[in-house]
Chain A
Amino acid sequence: MKILVCISHVPDTTSKINFKENDTKFDNNGVQFVINPYDEFALTRAMWFKEKQGATITAVTVGNTSTEPTLRKALAIGADDAIRVNTEAIDGLQVAKELAEVVKNGSYNLVLAGKESIDYNGGMVPGMLAALVDYNFVNACIGLEIEGEKATISREIDGGKEILSANLPLVIAGQKGLVEEKDLRIPNMRGIMMARKKPLSILEPISTKTATTTASFEKPATKSACKIVSTENIGELVDLLHNEAKVI
């Protein structure tokens, strides 16, 4: 089984989000970048298939040179090789088209990704990629088993879950449940040393056309201070929720 794991290079969850150049650009200053947490679930599941079923893993990202440390981290965790498509990721469809090219050329039969990136929260690249290469696709995947060519997949639905079956090739957009958080791996020294020697190839993009662009960014309106209700007067909270907030 040849697995492609799609990695997004994103600001760490605890980052302060700021914008620059008149709110037209994301401000990288002081921001720590990490593997997108949802992609980490995907990579960890891929490692299971590598160790138990002899799969090979290629990690891929679409981005400029600044994303390489994140790809190296994926290699340190255990991916066999990595690909960077050398263009800035601006729009979901643009990224999906670049990934589709990688999938076609590498004839991967399983593509694992996170269901969304925690920066733009687009939630679109895996589904678009699947449609572009005409692979079956499951979104919000919380369980994946593969026997030979046959996959059994669980996905989260509103108020429950659905079990699906499909043959490879397949694109999976994963989330927690695909693996648990305790299964996530921190790269060890040996992994980090080995990652330096693993191949990281750089591909030029097929196009730089985008379907969407960001015209500007905004920060949420500053919130007014929390109103504190005394424990002696809890009826006041009910009153505020009814008359002021109008939510009950």
Chain B
Amino acid sequence: MSVLILAETLEGKFKKSTFEATSYGKKVAELLGTTTVVLAINATNPSELYTYGAEKVLNVSNENLKTFNAKVYANIIQQAVEKENAQIVIIDASANGLYVAPMVAVNINAGYASNVVAIPSSTTPFVVKRKAFSSKGFNNTEINTDVKVIGLSKNSFGIIENEVAGTTEDFSPSVIETTIVSEKIEQTTGTVTIADADIVVSGGRGLKGPENWGMVEELAQILGAATACSKPVSDLGWRPHSEHVGQTGKPVASNLYIAIGISGAIQHLAGINSSKVKVVINTDAEAPFFKAADYGIVGDAFEVVPKLIEKLKEFKTNNI
């Protein structure tokens, strides 16, 4: 018996979500009185995961697995589950994680709970709390199958150091043939992505035009944040669609979300509700965003943001 965690790498380096999934997996394994196994594909430094509680790392090195293929990966996870007699499989909420998890569930005949935000509240029956209704509610889901798949929501458990004496074992699964082929990957490089960002700075129609985004970008740069925008802004073509956050855009689950000139329509809030701390800057004190935010400034963004940038620069200089 074991808890199997799928690691995610980018050019050999583990993503932060893998440290979180491993931390979470360790806690679940403790509850079940069992051990953790992490499946790492083409990772440069597997032993890095011992810090977060990985007792065993199954290390797969295979040039043919350089590019993610959901069908192939789902099959490899299945092989790892069978080899390690895994009872629980934990997969993060990255684009690839969300893609592969349902396929894994079918392959191993498991019940799957996605968007999970906490450790199981009970192990018999097995109950986990998950986000639903676009973060307007939660459901405590009971998984009835012998083997279970858990999709862990980002930034819900946190990265917890829990050093163990881990071992790394080479694993050479068979690689199935598929008829779905990756032709090209277009990565936006050099900037922080909304999915990975701890902080997101977002602009709305209140900024009046694309030419005014300089200060949003400067603020984001100081904070190491990703930039985002509201739906009207992407509809107007001021910013690319990839920056649109909200109900039909990208979901945001950052630690800090700063909304500038965004009124806070319900569809927008549905997409950003999972962020831990929300700050709003808006001229209209009646804007619905103030009801959802933790901190707010009622004021003109064109005055407030430059001042905030200045204060943050001072703060950064004093806190290095």
Chain A positions within 8 Å of B, measured between CB atoms, are 11, 13-14, 17, 19, 37-38, 91-93, 96, 118-128, 130-132, 136-140, 152, 155-167, 175-177, 181-182, 210-220, 223-224, 226-231, 234-235, 237-238, 240-242, 245, 247-248
Nearest chain A CB to B72's CB is how many angstroms away? Answer: 12
User: 11 other contacts beyond A123-B102, A234-B308, with CB at 8 A cut-off?
Assistant: A11-B133, A124-B102, A126-B102, A136-B179, A155-B95, A164-B182, A166-B181, A215-B125, A218-B140, A219-B136, A247-B198
Partner of A211, one of B96, B145, B297, B319: B145
Query: How many CB-defined contacts (below 8 Å) exist between A and B?
Result: 260
Q: Across the interface, name the chain A residue whose C-beta is closest to B267.
A: A13
The answer to whether B248 has its CB under 8 Å from any CB of chain A is yes
**A124 CA to B91 CA, complexed, in Å:** 13
Q: Please provide the 5 A-B residue pairs with the shortest distance between their CB atoms, ordered closest to farther.
A: A127-B102, A211-B111, A159-B193, A131-B106, A231-B299
> Which residues of B lie under 8 Å from residue A122 when comparing CB positions?
112, 114-115
Q: Across the interface, name the chain A residue whose C-beta is closest to B138.
A: A218
Can you list 11 A-B pairs with a CB-CB distance of less than 8 A? Answer: A13-B267, A118-B133, A125-B102, A137-B70, A158-B94, A165-B183, A211-B144, A219-B137, A219-B138, A226-B292, A237-B308
**A123 CA to B111 CA, complexed, in Å:** 13
Q: Are A161 and B186 in contact (CB under 8 A)?
A: yes
Q: Are A140 and B296 in contact (CB under 8 A)?
A: no
Q: Across the interface, name the chain B residue whose C-beta is closest to A161.
A: B186
The interface centre, meaning the residue of A163, A212, A224 with most chain B CB atoms within 10 A of its CB, is A212
**A127 CA to B151 CA, complexed, in Å:** 14
The stretch among B29-37, B44-52, B166-174, B273-281 that forms the contact with chain A is B273-281
**A207 CA to B185 CA, complexed, in Å:** 41
Partner of B115, one of A121, A131, A216: A121
> Which residues of B lie under 8 Å from residue A235 when comparing CB positions?
311, 314
Partner of A216, one of B95, B111, B139, B247: B139
Q: Are B247 and A136 in contact (CB under 8 A)?
A: no
Chain B positions within 8 Å of A, measured between CB atoms, are 70-71, 74, 94-96, 98-103, 105-107, 110-115, 125, 127, 129, 131-145, 151, 178-189, 193, 195-196, 198-199, 223, 235, 241-242, 244, 247-249, 255-256, 266-267, 270, 273, 276-277, 279-280, 290-299, 303-304, 307-308, 311-312, 314-315, 319
Q: Are A218 and B129 in contact (CB under 8 A)?
A: yes
> Which residues of A lie under 8 Å from residue B297 when comparing CB positions?
228-231, 234, 237
> Which residues of B lie under 8 Å from residue A228 when comparing CB positions?
290, 295-298
> Which residues of B lie under 8 Å from residue A163 when comparing CB positions?
182-186
**A92 CA to B280 CA, complexed, in Å:** 36
**A120 CA to B116 CA, complexed, in Å:** 12
Q: Are A229 and B103 in contact (CB under 8 A)?
A: no
Nearest chain A CB to B277's CB is how many angstroms away? Answer: 5
Q: Are A91 and B295 in contact (CB under 8 A)?
A: no
**A125 CA to B248 CA, complexed, in Å:** 18
**A131 touching B308 in the complex, CB below 8 Å, given contacts A137-B70, A140-B95, A220-B137:** no
